[in-house]
């Protein structure tokens, strides 16, 4: 009975949080569409802003559906092992333009034969979300390191970091630090990382000072 009550409270709370997170871009979208009907408006600019809001909502819905699949067991997390270096090289290259615009240098610290106990897609999900988070918040003139050792995957930056008290909360759904509230992130990236890692029997933790380090360790 207690488990059922706790689950229901979690479900209701998650539904309320999702509704809140969708309401903001929807309100901005409606305001943009109403402005587009006014005379002498820059329609192209308003349409571009509206497109950004729609993309934000789509990203949020995609993350919600993916997290739901993880929790229901429809997405298999750990099935064999994956060589880390090719995946991390691919992600470094994919994020190169974004990192350059943010003035963040991305480096790899990976032994060629390192394997991690995750499916390739799940390793991509973890690495992409952690890299995205670091590039988004580390700040200019910083270095982001993607590090892999047997049983360990770590993403570390030497940026501004977060308050020590906030570090344990980074993996909560929709939790944002004060600095992150103005960002376009969905607020689910690190929650997805935690779910993937723990589903594979691992642990994830964040530490700060200076910068931010997220460590994923596997048995």
Report yes or no on 146 lying in a domain: yes
Q: Is the pLDDT of residue 168 over 60?
A: yes
The structural domain count of the chain equals: 2
The DSSP symbol for 198 reads: H
Angstrom CA distances, 34 to 59, 78, 211, stand at 24, 48, 42
> Pick from 127, 87, 64, 121: which is nearest to 135 by CA?
127
Output the domain CATH number for residue 9. Answer: 1.10.287.130
Q: Is the pLDDT of residue 55 over 50?
A: yes
Q: Where are the alpha helices (DSSP H) in 37-168?
A: 43-72, 84-94, 96-101, 120-137
Q: So what's the pLDDT on residue 166?
A: 76
Q: Are residues 46 and 109 in the same domain?
A: no
Nearest 5°: the CA angle 132, 135, 136 is 80
Q: Are residues 146 and 183 in the same domain?
A: yes
Q: Is the pLDDT of residue 157 over 90?
A: yes
115: enclosing H helix or E strand: strand 115-116
Q: Is the pLDDT of residue 83 over 60?
A: yes
Report yes or no on 77 lying in a domain: no
List, for residues 182-205, the tens digit of each pLDDT value. 455 556 778 888 888 888 889 999
Instruction: Choose between 107 and 167: higher pLDDT.
Output: 107
Last residue of a domain, one of 72, 95, 128: 72
Q: Are residues 134 and 59 in the same domain?
A: no
Tell me the C-alpha distance between 162 and 172, whole Å: 15
Q: So what's the pLDDT on residue 187?
A: 64
Tell me the C-alpha distance between 108 and 170, whole Å: 24
> Pick from 165, 203, 171: which is nearest to 188 by CA?
171
List, for residues 98-126, the tens digit of each pLDDT value. 999 999 999 999 988 899 988 888 888 88
Q: So what's the pLDDT on residue 170?
A: 80
Q: Are residues 120 and 173 in the same domain?
A: yes
Q: Where are the alpha helices (DSSP H) in 73-95?
A: 84-94
Instruction: Choose between 140 and 45: higher pLDDT.
Output: 140
Domain of 204, in residue numbers: 82-217
142-149 and 104-110: which strand pairing? parallel
**The model's pTM:** 0.66
142-149 and 203-208: which strand pairing? unpaired
């Amino acid at each position: 009975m207690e488990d059922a009550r706790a689950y229901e409270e979690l479900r209701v709370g998650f539904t309320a949080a999702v509704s809140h997170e969708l309401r903001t871009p929807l309100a901005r979208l409606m305001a943009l569409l109403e402005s587009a009907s006014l005379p002498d408006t820059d329609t192209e600019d308003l349409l571009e802003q509206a497109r950004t809001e729609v993309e934000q909502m789509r990203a949020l819905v995609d993350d919600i559906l993916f997290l739901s699949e993880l929790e229901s067991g429809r997405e298999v997390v750990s099935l064999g092992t994956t060589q880390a270096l090719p995946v991390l090289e691919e992600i470094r290259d994919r994020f190169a333009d974004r990192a350059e615009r943010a003035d963040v240098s991305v480096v790899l610290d990976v032994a060629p034969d390192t394997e991690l106990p995750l499916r390739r897609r799940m390793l991509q999900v973890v690495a992409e979300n952690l890299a995205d988070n670091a590039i988004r918040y580390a700040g200019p003139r910083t270095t982001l390191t993607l590090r892999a050792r047997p049983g360990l995957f770590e993403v570390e930056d030497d940026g501004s970091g977060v308050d020590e008290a906030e570090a344990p909360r980074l993996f909560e759904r929709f939790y944002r630090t004060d600095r992150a509230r103005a960002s376009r992130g969905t607020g689910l990236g690190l929650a997805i990382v935690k779910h993937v890692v723990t589903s594979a029997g691992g642990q994830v933790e964040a530490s700060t000072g200076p910068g931010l380090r997220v460590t994923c360790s596997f048995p």
